[in-house]
Chains A and B, each alone.
Chain A
Amino acid sequence: MTTNSITKPHYMRSATPIPSSAIASARGLVKTYGKGDTAVQALAGIDVDFDRGELTAIMGPSGSGKSTLMHCMAGLDTVTSGSVMIDGEDVRRMNQRQLTKLRRMRLGFIFQAFNLVPTLTAAENITLPLDIARRPVDRAHFDAIVAAVRLETRLHHRPSELSGGQQQRVACARALVAKPAVIFADEPTGNLDSRSSAELLGFLRRSVDDLGQSVVMVTHDPRVATYAHRVLFLADGRLVEELINPTQASVLEVLGSLDATPTTDATDDSVALAPIGF
């Protein structure tokens, strides 16, 4: 596709039936932190469908609720109201045990940092979800993934002996190894230089295009968003825009139009440090 189109998101109408192409969906998703006067609405009623076999990026200014949306979708956080469906199952109805099983069998995670268990080797980290679930490792699949992320020579190293880019590639391989329904990636390149970022994102995109994997990725970086099939924009807990086949220019354009105030997101999520005075 060569044309970039900006459309009003069609899923803002509530109670829309879930299309069969969706691997993960939310309807009327509300998340409120705190109670009474101090209550903050992080998600203000979101309807969203993430399509099967697509790489979807979620963008938005700091505090727009993009990480909260991902955490709620992945069953990592509780939902105030609304429903979340993953691969046809209602996440909100699940108890702790079922949620654990869901994360173990159906979901993959890539975090910004601290993705690996420091006491395990790269290979052991990759197979960790399978080991936990006591499922056998599909050797051919494992080898294919390891080859794709080019980690063949680093398999028996500990995380502390790997570069940042290698660590994130191990995390990717781990997310892929159990063949999950959907992978959630939270700022996966947040701590990487541009070359390592490009490698990692290229790999994620290939896993979608070649293996039919579904990936949802939160990012603040317009360049990262260009690797996605589709970009969703959040502001104040609502979905406000959608881009199909984004380019850096179109993403910047939307971001610019979202808010007159410049986004502070570029300093990444550890802005919590800012008040300390650096």
Chain B
Amino acid sequence: MRRVALRGIRAHLVRFILSILAVSLGVAFVAGTFSLRTMMTSTFFGIVDSSMAGDAYVRGTEPVAGYTTTGTTGETRNTVPTSLATQIAGVHGVAKAFAEISGPIVLVGKDGTAGTRSPSFGMALHPNDTTVTVVAGRAPSGPTEIGLESATLRASKLTLGDQTKVVVAGVIRTVRVTGEISKGAPMAGATIVFLDVPSATAAYAADGMVATIAVYANPGVTEADLVENLTPELVRDKAARAEALTGDAMRAEARTDIESQLGFVLAFMLVFAGISLFVGAFIISNTFSMLVRQRTREFALLRAVGASPTQVFASILIQATVVGLLGSAIGIGGGLGLVSLLRVGFAQVGMDLSGSTPLDAQTVVISLLLGTVVAVGAAAFPARRAALTAPIEAMREATAPERSLLARSIVGGILTATGAAGLVVAVLAPDDHGSAMVGVGAGLLMLGTLLLAPFLVRYTLGVLAAVFVATVRPLGRLARGNVVRNPRRTANTASALMIGMALVGAASVLAASATASTRAIVDDGWSSDFSIQSATGNVPIGALADTRTLASVNAVDVVTYGPAVTTGPGETASAENPLMVVGLPVGAFGRSVTIDTVTGALDTLAHGQIAVQKAIAADRGWHLGDEVTFPSRTGTIGARIGAIVDTRLFRSPIIVSDVLFATIIEPAQTTVEDLLITAAPGVTAAELRADLTEVASPYVVLSVLDTEDFAGQLASQVNQILVILYALLGLSIIIAILGIVNTLALSVIERTREIGLMRAVGLGRLQLAGIITIESVLTAVFGTVIGVVLGVAVAAVMPTVFDGVGLTTLAIPWAQLAEMLVLAVVVGILAALWPASRAARLPVLDAVASD
């Protein structure tokens, strides 16, 4: 039997190619995803190993509210004094210890811009730090010199000795590049600028505090011994609030953190790999149905000469295994190619990834196994049908009875209804687990619709087909009949597009809504003439000072953000869930921003009281006049709630005056998000803009925006995210085309006699091609319409549910949805090309005489 099976593949190689292609595509994405993961983790692990080479680390003991501005990983803890480094240098076994001083920086490249938006760090170059080496030139010395990491130097196009500018600690500084410095591993595109220790300390540790101190051991002292020696010293100095841990433990923490961050991205990519495999499985199953159908007589012969059903079944499974293995092997190669392309692409934009080969044994085994299991699983159903067909039955004109759709439709209907109910509940009671409801509801709705799809094909496709039935007689009616004839198959074929279009439909509605919402918020609440914002998210303090000196400016209101552990009446402090606090000058209300108060008054902010958002007040049970407390360096500070407000202009739940803000938020945790500028009397917008642009341009990363620009900028950011989704849509379209081609080819073969009959009674070749094209277009449009309806339905719920995060307005981008529909028609036509020409070329007599 094995010989029969293998000969079968050789004889029908062309027919197997589609299946192999389908497996390859799915596997390529799985293999590519895993390889990318390997490559990225090895790159980031390389960074961890090369930049965290200490034998022990000293860090704070208590977690604090905060987020990292320097890209360091792990939870944020209290900072420790830099002086601790000298203090512990004398501990037994310590060779050297130095505070790790780093922070954000903007480096102006040769072309006068800050280049890509990759993370940029400035860090102190300790003279005796062995983890970095000066490759060329010399180490920077003094505030006017910098060293650049090798990849940064290349990306910036600067050369040693060049003069350039950096923005550090909020001010522009002219500096000279004195050295190229290597960290011993690719830095994944991060911009790294080295400063000498005094400059770095002045910029990033002006208060004498740092996050960590790296400790190196004398030869022969183990990491554990080192920590044991350090601990008593740290415990004694209670004020320092510091603890020691081994280098291995520190690196392990960093790795875990990186893995969990990458895990999210990879999970997202794996979903798409899963979709392609799912559709691939369907294509395989279709191909085997086609083969089984064509070879029914051959199987009948084998059965008649004594082959058992099991043997027939096994022979088909052997073929599936070969298809699976071959497809997986090609897929793994394709995945590698994909990742190599990505690496080249990343390198082009200045992101160096590790050179180590990303293919590990685990990836190969998983990919091979997955591809083969999917292929064998998908072939099992047609194989079973072939094996169980009685020999004599196979001889007759076989018309496979369509299995009932009832069970599938009932389950699908229940899931769809439950999903829809979930969405409705989410809309009606958006406060109670609204987002979870939307997630579960959308998932159920999708799954239910996929199950319900054959039912929909049978009962709704007629509506879609009505156009064709009415305009292209009688081809439209014939095509409709063919599409509806096997609803299960049509639905499965359309599923790839359905999923892809649902995702893109939802995303485009969300994008349009987000843009419209922001626009509405800005229009309502923003009354300043201009805003200055930074691409790094943090406006340098120097720019503020410069702006204030302009004669054309009436007022500059600084909007600052920072996290604070906020404790209401009867609550216990928890560093796990800090609240974002926004600080504004008291004068800004009514001048730069308009905020609706529910109760109380914003004047109270001038007297150290705070304003809270309506939503958080309801959530935490806070009332006007309640006192909440914040930790600060000088002890706990209490503040009364002077106003409950309802505004979308600020994302943070708590609004305080700039004075209170400076007391409760550490400078290291402060982000200057916005400068809101109002014009002096008699100054035109154009004049003010010109002045502001002149101030902002030296900082390279600043932009001057009016309300119009602001909305436009947001729209362009949203569109950048959409590009990624469109790339994924491209994938689902390729797979959809493959699936439709496959289904049409199968159906042409199955309908050979019917086609012959119609040709005999006078159907022209073009008419025949027309029927098949209409079938294809109907299938594609069906998948798209259902997908878009689903996507839009889910997305339409979001503004109600996510009202609290600023999504207030529902906007449906009709033009874009119409484009998707046009795309579906194009996909349908493309997919029909080959099967239609194949059918048209069938000789009439062959078709009539076909058995």
Contact = CB atoms under 8 A, between A and B. Distances in A.
B485 A118 contact: yes
Interface string A236-278: 0000000000000000000000000000000000101100111
15 contacts: A74-B760, A97-B764, A100-B759, A100-B764, A100-B765, A103-B760, A104-B763, A114-B753, A117-B754, A118-B485, A118-B754, A119-B478, A124-B474, A270-B851, A276-B395
B478 A117 contact: yes
A174 B757 CA distance: 12
A71 interface: yes
A105 B761 CA distance: 9
Interface in B805-851: 844-845, 848, 851
A104 B845 contact: no
Nearest to A99: B844
A132 B762 contact: yes
B297 A128 contact: no
Given A76-B848, A134-B473, A278-B304, A128 B758 contact: yes
Nearest to B482: A119
Given A71-B845, A77-B845, A117-B478, A132 B763 contact: yes
B477 A113 contact: no
B481 interface: yes
Given A76-B848, A114-B753, A114-B754, A109 B765 contact: no
Q: Which 6 A-B pairs have the closest CB atoms?
A: A104-B762, A119-B481, A131-B474, A103-B762, A100-B764, A76-B845
Contacts of A162: none
Interface in A59-101: 71, 74, 76-77, 96-97, 100-101
A41 interface: no
A119 B757 contact: no
Nearest to B474: A131
B672 interface: no
Interface residues on B, range: 20 to 34
B300 interface: yes
B845 A278 contact: no
A147 interface: no
A71 B753 CA distance: 15
Contacts of A277: 301, 304-305
Contacts of B693: none
Interface string B755-791: 0011111111101000000000000000000000000
Contacts of B757: 109, 111, 114-117
A129 B767 CA distance: 13
Nearest to A269: B849
Given A117-B757, A132-B761, A278-B395, 17 more contacts: A76-B760, A101-B762, A103-B761, A108-B761, A114-B757, A118-B481, A118-B485, A118-B754, A119-B485, A120-B481, A128-B474, A128-B758, A129-B761, A129-B762, A131-B474, A132-B764, A278-B304
A174 B76 CA distance: 83
Contacts of B304: 276-278
Contact of A276 (B297, B485, B759): B297
A129 B761 CA distance: 6
Nearest to A68: B845
Interface of A: 71, 74, 76-77, 96-97, 100-101, 103-105, 108-109, 111, 113-120, 124, 128-129, 131-134, 160, 174, 270, 272-273, 276-278
Contacts of A109: 757, 760-761
B396 to A, nearest CB: 9
Contacts of B397: 113-114
Contacts of B763: 100, 104, 132
A273 B482 CA distance: 30
B721 interface: no
Contacts of A77: 845
B683 interface: no
Contacts of A273: 297, 395
A132 B759 CA distance: 10
Contacts of A118: 481, 485, 754
A129 B758 CA distance: 8
A103 B480 CA distance: 24
Nearest to B764: A100
A108 B762 CA distance: 9
Given A120-B481, A278-B304, A132 B758 contact: yes
Contacts of A100: 759, 762-765
B95 interface: no
Nearest to B840: A96
A100 to B, nearest CB: 5
Interface in B390-408: 392, 395, 397, 399
A277 to B, nearest CB: 5
B38 to A, nearest CB: 52
Contacts of B399: 160
A270 B482 CA distance: 28
B762 A105 contact: yes
Contacts of A71: 845
Contacts of A76: 760, 844-845, 848
B471 to A, nearest CB: 12
A129 B763 CA distance: 8
Contacts of B301: 276-277
B478 A120 contact: yes
Contacts of A74: 760
B254 to A, nearest CB: 64
Most central of A104, A270, A276 by chain B CB within 10 Å: A276
Given A111-B848, A113-B397, A120 B760 contact: no
B457 to A, nearest CB: 14
A111 B844 CA distance: 13
Most central of A96, A100, A109, A118 by chain B CB within 10 Å: A100
A113 B753 CA distance: 10
Contacts of A276: 297, 300-301, 304, 395
Interface string B682-700: 0000000000000000000
A105 B851 CA distance: 27
A128 B305 contact: no
